[in-house]
Amino acid sequence: MGYRTEKDSMGEMQVPANAYYGAQTQRAVLNFPISNLRFPRSFIRAMGLIKKAAAEANRELELLDGEIAKAIIHAADEVIQGKFDDQFVVDVFQTGSGTSTNMNANEVIANRAIEIRGGEFGSKEIHPNDHVNLCQSSNDVIPTAIHVAALEQIEKKLIPSLERLRLSLESKAREFDNVIKIGRTHLQDAVPIRLGQEFSAYAGMIGHGARRMESVRPHLSELAIGGTAIGTGLNCHPEFPGKVVAKLSTWTGVAYRQAENRFEALAGRDAAVEASGMMKTVACSLMKIANDLRWLGSGPRCGIGEILLPATQPGSSIMPGKVNPVIAEAVTMIAAQVLGNDVTINIAGQSGNFELNVMKPIIAYDLLQSIDWLANGCVVLVEKCVNGIQADRERCREAVEKSLAMVTALVPKIGYDKAAEIAKEAYQTRRTVREVVRAHKLLSDQELEALLDPWSMTEGD
């Protein structure tokens, strides 16, 4: 591979000849050979949107030559479309402001714009700082990109995925409403519940989760653009941020707005911490639901086995015929990762002194990963698991009749202590509550049938 020589403020740098990025990006590549983690498509798209909006705004404000602006806009459009994702080569673990990634975008767009105009890479006839980064700083571009990417992904991917899961669970709740099973508390038999009621709880949890994600809009919609280095807006035209925000809102269909306080928008990352916290709650819900599905489908013959989970793949390399709850297990791992990301984002949100947070790259990476994985996990859970769940109605019915907790319904009639004696005897003699009560002739058959009717126990007041 050949190289070309480019210069930046620190001197000459050898850059791969065919690379669209330049000297500052190459320095970052050499400085941070750490994780091989790169920013996701949603973040690169947001960077392209910001650079395009900036070029349009600067052209309208007559700060940027029309032909130069046209080439930058063309190049930024190609970044938005994903044509240069392979040119965003800086590791996530880099300078805490994200300056290396901002310059990566500036250099790629500048060199592509030069190419469009027939020039040579690295000539800087379209300058990455003076033209592409005009009226901007890494310190306001990167937090703006975090908010643009995160809120767009939440609005267009995560919330719809949660809604899809909620609807699937609600459908199962209706389908299973006439299936009476035994409830469980502390993993022990409790009073009867309808399987549909159990699934309605899952649907309710996911519904709350969707509303929690909706609640992050007011703060994530605030954009730091226009604050430049520390929030004062130095070297930024006063009309620039309003124009950029308006364009971003139009192009994405998401209602963004200028930050109420640009000093806060640069110094803190509280909106990202809040959004991560809401996703942590969603992850806890998914972990609970997925584990319940694993328990309810355990067996199939020697476990609880009240539901039948779809068989998606062989479960064992040694035990023929074994099928495992692999979809639910995958969802629990997603939830675990989101919880871990939240811890990282919490720590990162505290980090940085005075006017600038200096852990923005890892906040961006982990936040967008959580959004993406939660959304994908919800879709897989719907398509590969929930939609195909069946109830083992006979097993549920048998378990209800065997449950010692059925004696609870007799307490108003015979008292707690007597009911406890019956439960104990039923357990020791391996008989049902119904059989023990009949043997002692404590209630008439008519009373016993009415009191031990499992459906009435699930109705409440």
Catalytic residues: 186, 316
Quote the CA–CA distance of 45 and 63 in Å, as a whole number. Answer: 24
Give the position of tokens 């005075």: 354
User: Looking at this protein, which amino acid is placed at residue 259?
Assistant: A
Q: Which two tokens stand for residue 89?
A: 């080569």
> Which among 303, 219, 312 has a CA at the least distance from the CA of 264?
219
Amino acid symbol at 174: R
DSSP annotation of 309: P
Q: Which of 372, 366, 360 is nearest to 145 (CA)?
A: 360
Tokens describing residue 426: 């039923």
Give dist(CA 100, CA 29) in Å, integer: 9
Q: Is 411 left (phi over 0), alpha (psi -120 to 50) or beta?
A: alpha
Task: Collect all residues with Cβ–Cβ distance below 8 Å to 163 and sequence separation of at least 6.
Answer: 210
Cα of first residue to Cα of last residue in the chain, in angstroms, is: 78
Contact predicate 346/273, CB 8 Å: yes
Place of tokens 């947001």: 46
Q: Coil, strand, or helix at residue 432?
A: coil
Distance of CA 12 to the CA centre of its chain: 42
* SS3 assignment, position 180: strand
Question: 42: number of CA atoms within 13 Å, CB side?
Answer: 24
